[in-house]
Amino acid sequence: MDALGWYFQYFSVFGVGIHVIIALCFAIHAIRNGRPYIWLWILFIFPFLGSIVYFVAEYLPHSRMPYQVNTLSKKALHVLQPNRQLNQLKENYEHLPSVENAVHYADALVSSGKAEEAIIILEQKNNGFCAEDPAFLEKFARALLQDQQSQRVLEITQKIRNLQPNFRSEEIALLRALSYHQLNQEDLAQQEFSFAIRSKNISILSEYIFWAIQTNQPSLAHEIRAEMQRSWAIWSKYARRLHKPIFTEVDKALKQMDKNVRTS
């Protein structure tokens, strides 16, 4: 049996080579998506090579595959080199210690639970125009909050309100609520939370739930969860997938709270 006969025996459907079928599928794709008609000529004259070229030049860039491959590669890279991004930002900052590089590096440090190092970097920049910049001050306050320097957080967030009362008002209120909670001033924390949740931001609502659980307010916690569910009901699939980890953590905490209430 010659090579061509072998191919059509094992790689054909009703005597038509698979490469021709693939070329036909790409031709249909080209017509449906308004691709130039030159592609039809290429696919039918050179079905094998034409299919490869069409896949690389037209199909792949417009499919979800690049996103999925990119996402998968990032996850794999994070497992193999968990501190790669942090080290890159550190290198950028050491090479050029600008305010922008300092803030990016400090952000990464805070995300890695290294607030003390972030505070040292931001403290060095907390002068001149940075000392009057609400965006910079908010980053500084977040680092201080993680380091449980609550009183300083309150001072900085009050300064932000004095500079620009409407600057990220709900996020600033959340920082103040969490600071008051660290100081066991729960009435003041409640006031700030009440202001912070006006935006219906899911991350802020989840923080409010955790606070309600920690302060032994199960009814309030379930009330907030119901508010979160109303947002969930109208979201797209993408929004649900994006926020699902928050809902999972919240539901886990609520389940544990209900269990403790039943056994107490």
**Spans of all domains in the chain:** 3-63, 201-264
Q: Which residue has the higher pLDDT, 229 or 82?
A: 229
Tokens of 73: 């590669």
Task: With beta carbons less than 8 A apart as the criterion, state whether 192 and 211 touch.
Answer: no
State yes or no: pLDDT of 200 exceeds 50.
Answer: yes
Question: Tell me, what's the pLDDT at 60?
Answer: 61
Sequential DSSP letters for 134-190: HHHHHHHHHHHHHTT-HHHHHHHHHHHHHH-TTTTHHHHHHHHHHHHHHTT-HHHHH
Task: With beta carbons less than 8 A apart as the criterion, state whether 45 and 18 touch.
Answer: no
Tokens of 47: 């079905």
Question: Tell me, what's the pLDDT at 147?
Answer: 93
Q: What is the pTM of this model?
A: 0.68
Average pLDDT estimate for 29-42? 77
- What is the Cα–Cα distance from 107 to 157, expressed in whole angstroms? 18
Task: With beta carbons less than 8 A apart as the criterion, state whether 19 and 47 touch.
Answer: yes
Lowest pLDDT segment from 69-83, 98-112, 171-185: 69-83
Tokens of 98: 């600008």
